[in-house]
Amino acid sequence: MLSIYSMIVISRRTRNSVLVYSKLKLLITASVSTWSPLATAFNTRPGRKLNLSLIKDDAGLFGVPELRSHDGFYAMRERTVWETEKLISEACGPDRTRKMVEIFDELSDTLCKVADLAEFVRIAHPQAAHSQAAEDACVSISGIVERLNTHQELYCALRAIVDGGDKFPMSSLDQHVAQLFLFDFEQSGIHLPETERKRVVALNDSILQVGQRFIAGAVSPRAIPRDSLPQNLRQFFSVDGDQVLVTGLYADSPNAMVREAAYRIYLHPDKHQEYLLSEMLSSRHELAQLCGFPTFSHRALKASTAETPDTVNQFLDIMTQRLHKRAAVDFDVMKKLKAATNTGSTEEDLAPWDTPYYTHKVKRDWLQVGSTEFSPYFSLGTCMEGLNILTNSLYNISLISDELAPGEVWAPDVYKLAGIRTSSFF
């Protein structure tokens, strides 16, 4: 599903802000009077189409024939294993007929095209069978990747062409790509003895699985006995038998007691979550130490834009210093608003569960504009057209609404886009 959030930020309630809004409204009205084909597709709710084709079978999820059912993920996983082994043999064998980086690029693509698809289906598909099969595929592919990252023979083959050159001519881009693949190897401890390499693989697998369980637990509803919540608050939450379910922070509720109850219940310490987090942090630290890094943050940031944890800390310190005074002013405004709204409250009463609510309230009061007034100018189609303008300007790629084949998606309101290069980018 595609979700787009838009917000217009206009200065505080002054005559100028009203003028700015009026001009903006006229400008947008003029520019969106005619919808493009892309905007039209997203602004028109699609209906379910009947399969009138003479072909009995559906195309399969996202046009992948194996995914006519969730069992197809297991077939894709097995095929990926077979193709991976074939490419490894080609890279390590004496009869190689193409550049090493081409084999590594195909190896990476073979794994990623299954892993990325499975990860999206795991998150987005509404049916549990598909979600579970996709999750199993994700775990399997991740295990293969970590095993390859400690594959000694494959590493030596790549190391040889980086140090001594390939028997096929390499461009500067080929050399850079080879260096990146080599770095991936070495940060996974490829240089370690066999016992420690196996430990690295086991740690990576544990970190992946424990991390997934921790994330799933972080967003799951919290259940408490019904009798432990005051009767006047139960009506605001879901009730399941003798339990009350709290599914979030209820940050937009105007009732302060509801916000406080949701905050305290939803974020209450969970021993199982603490155990998972401790296990993940411990495994990350051990992994970093085995691979020659002081901490896991050093390993994660290596070859990134930031490069080191010190750079990240400096950035955060600078941001904290520059934003501190502005944040203090904002908090002062929220305190005063709460004091004015709630009789008997003082300016010191601003609680953690108040901040999101009063932030939204202050913005709404200052703008003096309801979302219903500007939302017509920011329809899903208009936002998608804006995204199309960006991709076209940056990459010469146009987004075009494409026809769906039977069985490609699981609901009629899932859209299919084709990315078409309008001209040569390079």
pLDDT digits (tens, 9 = 90+) for 316-370: 999 999 999 999 999 999 998 898 887 655 546 789 999 999 998 888 888 777 6
Cα→Cα distances 355→13, 214, 345, 366, 371, Å? 21, 26, 15, 16, 20
Question: Given pLDDT bands bounded at 50, 70 and 90, which one contains residue 48?
Answer: low
Give the structural domain span for 285: 201-303
53 lies in some domain? no
Tell if the pTM clears 0.85, that is, is over it: no
Residue at 35 is within a domain? no
Which residue, 257, 287, 303, sits at the end of a domain?
A: 303
Instruction: Tell me: do 184 and 261 sit in the same domain.
Output: no
Task: List C-alpha distances in Å: 286 to 185, 262, 289, 294.
Answer: 17, 36, 5, 10
Say yes or no: 181 and 213 in one domain: no
Q: Is the dihedral of CA 305, 309, 314, 315 positive or negative?
A: positive
From the list 289, 308, 92, the residue with the least C-alpha distance to 189 is 289
> Is there a single domain that holds both residue 289 and residue 238?
yes
187 has a pLDDT exceeding 50: yes
* Residue that has been written with the tokens 């709204």 in this structure: 341
User: What would the mean pLDDT of 165-181 be, rounded to a whole number?
Assistant: 92
- Domain assignment present for residue 360? The answer is no
Task: For residue 237, tell me if it sits in a domain.
Answer: yes
At which of 303, 335, 368 does a domain end? 303
Do 88 and 159 lie in one domain? The reply is: yes
pLDDT at 249: 94
What is the share, in percent, of the chain residues with pLDDT greater than 90?
54
Average of per-residue pLDDT values in the chain: 84
Query: Same structural domain for residues 275 and 255?
Result: yes
Rounded Cα distance between 229 and 400, Å, is 52
pLDDT in tens, 270-317: 999 999 999 999 999 999 999 889 999 998 898 788 889 999 999 999
Residues 176 and 265 in one domain: no
DSSP state of 99: -
Closest alpha carbon to 174 in 87, 95, 98, 89:
98
Same domain for 74 and 185, yes or no, is: yes
244 lies in the same domain as 148: no
Q: Establish if 230 belongs to a structural domain.
A: yes
Counting residues of the chain whose pLDDT is more than 70, the rounded percentage is 87
Domain count, the chain: 2
- List pLDDT tens digits, range 85-114: 999 999 999 899 999 999 999 999 999 999
Using pLDDT thresholds of 50, 70 and 90, give the confidence band for residue 426: very low
Structure tokens at 290: 């085995």
Identify whether 85 is part of a domain: yes
pLDDT in tens, 358-406: 998 888 888 777 667 777 788 889 999 999 999 999 999 999 999 888 8
- What's the pLDDT at 33? 52
Same structural domain, 184 and 110: yes
**The dihedral of CA 307, 313, 316, 318: what is its sign?**
negative
Q: How many CB atoms lie within 10 A of CB 123?
A: 11
**Residues 220, 109: one domain?**
no
| Distance of alpha carbon 405 from the chain centroid | 27
Whether 21 shows a pLDDT value over 50: the answer reads no
Last residue of a domain, one of 277, 303, 329: 303
Report if residue 125 sits inside a domain: yes
Instruction: Write the CATH number for 93.
Output: 1.20.1050.40
**Residue 254 included in any domain:** yes
Q: What is the pLDDT of residues 203-249, one digit of tens each?
A: 988 998 999 899 999 999 999 999 999 999 999 999 888 999 999 99
Question: What is the predicted pLDDT for the residue at 174?
Answer: 93
Q: Given this model, what pLDDT does residue 345 score?
A: 54
What average pLDDT does range 75-81 have in this prediction? 92
User: Do 92 and 174 sit in the same domain of this protein?
Assistant: yes
Query: Residue 264's pLDDT band (boundaries 50, 70, 90)?
Result: very high
Predicted confidence band of residue 4 (pLDDT cuts 50, 70, 90):
very low
Is residue 243 located within the same domain as residue 175? Answer: no
Any idea which residue has 């936002």 for tokens? Answer: 383
| Most confident of the following: 42-46, 50-54, 229-233 | 229-233
